[in-house]
Structures are given as C-alpha cells and as structure tokens.
Amino acid sequence: MAAKSQDKIFFGVALVLLLASAGWMALQGSKLAKLRASADASITASPYVPAGIDAPTVSTSTWPIAPSQPTGAEWVYDVFTPPEIYYNESTKKFSVTPPVTVIVEVPKEIPFGLELVSIKQDAYRLQLVGYIGGEGDYRGTFENTISGETVIGRTGKVFADLGLTIKSFTVKRNKTISPDSMPIYDTEATAVVVDSKTGEEVTLTNKRRLIKGSPLAILKTTGASETTEHKVGSKFTIGNVTYTVRNVSSEPPSAEVVKESPELKEPETKTLTPFVPVDPVPASQPATEQPATPAPATPFPFGN
C-alpha cells in the first residue's frame, strides 16, 4: 500500500517538471522568432565623412650640463658616457685624467779626471837593515836608498855620495820579561849618522825604516800613463781644472784632492785610493799559498 503511494508522488513530480520545461521552451521560442525578424531587417549604409584631427603639441628640452662631482672639477661626465678612470701609481689615487709620467733627468756625473797610482814613502837616504859580526866586532848592513846599493860599515864610515858619516854603531840584546812565559831576548842594532852639510844627527835602527818628511802621492790623469809626484799642499792645473792635494796618507794609502773647475758650481773633494785588481779564484780550485823562494845571496863590499 505504501509503495503505491510513493509511485504516485514520483509520477506527480515528473509531471510538474515536464510541464515547466514545456513552458520554458514556449517562452524561448517567442524570443527566437523576434531575433529572426530583427536579423532580416535591411541595413542602409551612410556616406563616410572624414573628421579633422588636431596636430599634437610637441615640446623640446635639452639635458642640463653635468655638474662637477665632489671628487674634483675634472670628474664631469654625461648620463650615458661615464668617464675612464685611471690609477696613478705615484700618488696612489684614482683620477679621470691619464697619469703623466714624470721623467727625471739624472745629471751626468763629470769624471774627476785624476787617479791615485800609489803612495811613495819619502824614506831617509840611508837605512840600517841589519848587522854582522860578533861581540866587539859588530858592523852594520846599510841600504843606500838613492842608488839601491847595500854596503857594510862601522863607526867612522863615510858615505861621500850621501854626505853622511857614521858617528856610532851599537848592537844591544834587549830582554823582555813576561809573567806567563820565559824571558824573551831581542837584538837591536842602532846607528847614529851625521849630515856633513847641516850637522844634523839621525838615529837609524834595523827594526824599522826611517821616514823623513811626508809621504808623496803618485797621481796621473785618467786615461794617461805618465805619473807625477805630489805632496800635501801641492796645486797643479790640467786644462781648465785645478787640483789641490789636501792630504796624503800611507796607512791606508789614500790622497784627498780638491777639484775646481768653471763647470762646477762648487769645488769637489774626493778621497782617491789606488786601484787593486783582484784575480778571480775558481771555485773548484781553492787558493793555496806558494812557498816563498829564497832570495839569492848578494855579495857585500866590505869596508872600514
């Protein structure tokens, strides 16, 4: 009984829907008929009439000149053209201008023009170099520095060519006491010679050479071979250059010379030293000392 009631309800709902759909279709059909009627209406074209167009307003403007930058007046550039930036090594700064290389001209050094060849010792004209003989009969061995001759003499010996006479000649054995060793004995020969012209007495010893006066500087001009001797205070001229020897030293050998020339703003002082060539020693062959060759015996003319 209940099932038949439900069927009736479903049938009633379906019938209502069918009637609603039929009503909607009828309504839409009338609208479609109106659209077809309006689509068949004739369209009449109207003539074309051109309309005028006003010209657009054009305005022009220019970019203002680029102002200087805080870095400096030269740092000016346009919007689309940035500057080329350089780095200056000398100032350690950046710049928009290329760094200018400063060329410093080194003035050419004027050669001194003078060289020191050697230092000559102004040795006394007679030197005592040794002795011969025994107690009570000692005689001295003398060197004539003028002629280079070696002669034997004792007290009273006359060197006529030198103008000298031996006034006395002695040989003494000196004893030196050392607290840490045995006494040391040293023999020294001494000769007193007299100048026949001036009467001056000079003491000679075999322990050292007697140097009378100041040492002499042997100088030469650069590139020349001829040498000249000069003592302290010597002044000489070469061309338009004047040299003055201010000081001469034998230990170490050197000469202080002052140069004056119109080409110099002020005098130039230079200490000259002799040129000493150095022979290179191969690394594979160490330097060895050569045994000294004994000098041949020289006959001495004996005299009283």
Q: For 77-116, how does the pLDDT look when each residue is reduced to its tens digit (9 = 90+)?
A: 555 666 677 777 777 887 776 656 667 777 777 889 999 9
Please give the pLDDT value at position 91.
79
Calculate what percentage of the chain has a pLDDT beyond 90: 37
The mean per-residue pLDDT over the stretch 2-25 comes to: 75
Q: For 231-260, how does the pLDDT look when each residue is reduced to its tens digit (9 = 90+)?
A: 999 999 999 999 999 999 988 899 999 999
Integer Cα distance of 210 and 204 in angstroms: 7
- Quick one: tokens of 108? 């050419």
pLDDT value at 225 more than 80: yes
Evaluate if pTM is beyond 0.75: no
Q: For 210-223, how does the pLDDT look when each residue is reduced to its tens digit (9 = 90+)?
A: 888 778 999 999 98
- Quick one: tokens of 238? 């070469």
Integer Cα distance of 44 and 39 in angstroms: 14
Residue 34 to residues 21, 27, 29, 44: CA-CA distances in angstroms?
Answer: 21, 11, 9, 20
Instruction: Quickly state the pLDDT bin for 301 (edges 50, 70, 90).
Output: very low
Instruction: Quickly state the pLDDT bin for 293 (edges 50, 70, 90).
Output: very low
